[in-house]
C-alpha cells in the first residue's frame, strides 16, 4: 500500500489492480453495481479565483462494493474499458450528474457547469454517443451549455474524421470540450488549432512539481501561454498548495481545481456547502 500504510482496503485494491485472478470477480461485481445503480457520483468544485466563484464541478465516479470495499476509479475504470462496461457506466454517470446539476441550477442564480469524463470507447460509436447525450440532456433538462466533456489527448491522436465530426456536433449543440491531463500525451500540437476545443486542463503532475520558489514551473507556464495564443481557456487541476495557486495567479491562470479548495464531495456534502 502506497500512502495509507496499513490500510486494508488500499492493499486489497492494489492487489486487485494487478491480479488477473480477481479481475473476473471484480468485473462481475461491477456489472451488478451498474445494473442496480449502486454507483455514486462525487463532485469536485472548479473555482474561478478572479470572480471568486465556483463555476462548475467535475463528476467523479465512486464505487464501494460489499465484499471488495472501496475500489478506486483508477482500478475499475480500466476494467470497465476493457470489458465494454464503460458504456453503461458512462450512461449512468451522465444520467446521475446531469440530473443532479440541473436540480441544483434551479436553486442557484448562477448555473454550474458539470464536467463529465468520456473514455475513448464513447468515441468508437459517435452517433450513438451523441444520441445518448441529447437524450440525457432532454430528460434532465440540463442546458447543453452547462455540460462539458473531458477527454484525453489520446482520443485526438487518432485524428479520425469521425471523431472530429463528433466533436463538431457536440460544439454545435453547445457542449464544451476540455482536454484532460494536458501535457502528458506525446501528441502533435497541430490538432489544437483545428479542433473544436474550449479548454486545456493542465495535468496535476505538472502542478505538483511547482515548489515554494515557483521552480519547475516551465511546463505549466508554457501550457498557459499556449492556451492564450490559441484563445483557449485554461484550468489547473491538483492544486494543493497556496504557492501553487499564487504561481498560477501570477501567470493569469485563474481557473483551478484541487484539494486546496475542496476534495470531491458527495452530492449531500456539495449541496450543504455550495447550493
Q: Does 56 bind ligand C2E (CB under 6 A)?
A: no
Give the interface segment with ligand C2E, choosing from 58-66, 137-145, 225-233, 266-274 (CB under 6 A).
58-66
Partner interacting with residue 100 (select from ligand C2E, Ca ion, none; CB below 5-8 Å by kind): none
| Closest CB to ligand C2E among residues 233, 240 | 240
Q: Kindly state the cell numbers that stand for 93.
A: 454517470
Q: Within 185-224, which residues bind ligand C2E (CB under 6 A)?
A: 204
153 interacts with, out of ligand C2E, Ca ion, none, CB within 5 to 8 A per kind = none
Residue 235, C-alpha cell as written in the block: 484550468
| SS3 per residue for the chain | CCCCCCCHHHHHHHHHHHCCCCHHHHHHHHHHHHHCCCCEEEEEEEEECCCCEEEEEEEEEEEEECCCEEECHHHHHHHHHHHCCHHHHHHHHHHHHHHHHHHHHHCCCCCCEEEEECCHHHHCCHHHHHHHHHHHHHHHCCCHHHEEEEEEHHHHHCCCHHHHHHHHHHHHHCCEEEEEEECCCCCCCHHHHHCCCCEEEECHHHHHHCCCCCCCCHHHHHHHHHHHHCCCEEEECCCCCHHHHHHHHHCCCCEECCCCCCCCECHHHHHHHHC
Among residues 153, 181, 182, 207, the one that binds Ca ion under rule CB under 5 A: 181
Nearer residue to ligand C2E within complex by CB, 113 or 119: 119
User: Minimum distance between the CB of residue 109 and ligand C2E, rounded to whole angstroms?
Assistant: 26
Q: Do 90 and 118 form a contact (C-beta atoms < 8 A)? A: yes
**Interaction of residue 148 with Ca ion, rule CB under 5 A:** no
Contact flags string 142-181 toward ligand C2E, x per CB under 6 A: --------------------------------------xx
Assess 44 for contact with ligand C2E (CB under 6 A).
yes
Of 24-32, 59-67, 166-174, 227-235, the window that binds ligand C2E (rule: CB under 6 A) is 59-67
Does position 243 interact with ligand C2E (CB under 6 A)? The reply is: no
Residue from 75, 77, 96, 149 in contact with ligand C2E (CB under 6 A): 77
In the bound state with Ca ion, the residue whose beta carbon lies nearer, of 29 and 114, is 114
The footprint of ligand C2E (CB under 6 A) covers: 44, 59-61, 72-74, 77, 93, 117, 119, 180-181, 204, 237-240, 258-259, 264
Amino acid at each position: 500500500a502506497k500512502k495509507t500504510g496499513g490500510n486494508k482496503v488500499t492493499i486489497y485494491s492494489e492487489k486487485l489492480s494487478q491480479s488477473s485472478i480477481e479481475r473476473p470477480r471484480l468485473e462481475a461485481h461491477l456489472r451488478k453495481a451498474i445494473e442496480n445503480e449502486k454507483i455514486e457520483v462525487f463532485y469536485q468544485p472548479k473555482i474561478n479565483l478572479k470572480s471568486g466563484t465556483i463555476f462548475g464541478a467535475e463528476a467523479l465516479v465512486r464505487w464501494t462494493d460489499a465484499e471488495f470495499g472501496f475500489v478506486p476509479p483508477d482500478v475499475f475504470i480500466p476494467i470497465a474499458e476493457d470489458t465494454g462496461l464503460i458504456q453503461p457506466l458512462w450512461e449512468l454517470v451522465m444520467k446521475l450528474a446531469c440530473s443532479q446539476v440541473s436540480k441544483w441550477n434551479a436553486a442557484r442564480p448562477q448555473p454550474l457547469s458539470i464536467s463529465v469524463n468520456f473514455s475513448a470507447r464513447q468515441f468508437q460509436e459517435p452517433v450513438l454517443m451523441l444520441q445518448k447525450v441529447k437524450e440525457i440532456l432532454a430528460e434532465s433538462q440540463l442546458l447543453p451549455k452547462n455540460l462539458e466533456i473531458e477527454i484525453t489527448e489520446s482520443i485526438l491522436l487518432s485524428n479520425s474524421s469521425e471523431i472530429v465530426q463528433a466533436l463538431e456536433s457536440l460544439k454545435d449543440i453547445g457542449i464544451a470540450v476540455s482536454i484532460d491531463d494536458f501535457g502528458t500525451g506525446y501528441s502533435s500540437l497541430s490538432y489544437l488549432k483545428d479542433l473544436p476545443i474550449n479548454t486545456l486542463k493542465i495535468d496535476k503532475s505538472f502542478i505538483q512539481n511547482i515548489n515554494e520558489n515557483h521552480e519547475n514551473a516551465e511546463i505549466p507556464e508554457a501550457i498557459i501561454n499556449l492556451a492564450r495564443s490559441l484563445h483557449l481557456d485554461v484550468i489547473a487541476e491538483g492544486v494543493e498548495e497556496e504557492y501553487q495557486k499564487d504561481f498560477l495567479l501570477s501567470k493569469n491562470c485563474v481557473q483551478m481545481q484541487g484539494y486546496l479548495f475542496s476534495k470531491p464531495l458527495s452530492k449531500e456534502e456539495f449541496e450543504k456547502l455550495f447550493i
